[in-house]
Amino acid sequence: MLEQGKTVTAALPPAALRNVLSALMLAIFLGALDQTIVAVSMPAISAQFNDVGLLAWVISGYMVAMTVAVPIYGKLGDLYGRRRMILTGISLFTLASIACALAQDMQQLVLARVLQGIGAGGMVSVSQAIIGDFVPPRERGRYQGYFSSMYAIASVAGPVLGGWLTEYLSWRWVFWINVPLGLVALWAIRRALANLPMTTRQARVDYLGAILMVLGLGSLLLGITLVGQGQAWTAPAVLAMFACAVLGLALFIGHEWRCPEPLLPMQLFANRTAVLCWAVIFFAGFQSISLTMIMPLRFQGITGAGADSAALHLLPLAMGLPMGAFYGGRMTSRTGRYKPQIVAGALLMPLAIGAIALTPPQAGWLSGLYMLLTGIACGLHFPTSLVATQNAVERKDIGVATSTTNLFRSLGGAMGVACMSSLLLALLLHNGFAAVGNPLLGSLQAGEADPATQARLLETFRDVLLASAGVALLGLVAALALPDRQLRGR
Closest to 151 (Cα-Cα) out of 291, 29, 57, 302: 29
Domain pair 1-205 / 269-490, same fold: yes
Please tell me the class of the 269-490 domain: mainly alpha
Q: Give the pLDDT score at 243.
A: 93
Give the separation between CA 188 and CA 383, rounded to whole angstroms. Answer: 24
Domain boundaries, the chain: 1-205, 206-260, 269-490
| pLDDT of 138 | 63
Q: What is the pLDDT of residue 13?
A: 65
Q: For residue range 21-56, list pLDDT tens digits in order.
A: 778 888 888 877 877 677 667 667 877 887 666 666
**Whole-number pLDDT of residue 1:** 33
Give the β-pairing of 198-203 and 3-8: antiparallel
Residue spans of the chain under pLDDT 70: 1-14, 36, 39-40, 42-43, 51-56, 60, 132, 136-145, 148, 152, 155-156, 159, 195-205, 228-230, 305-312, 433-450, 488-490
Per-residue pLDDT, 229: 64
Q: Tell me the whole-structure pTM to 2 decimals.
A: 0.73
CATH 1.20.1250.20 assigned to 1-205: yes
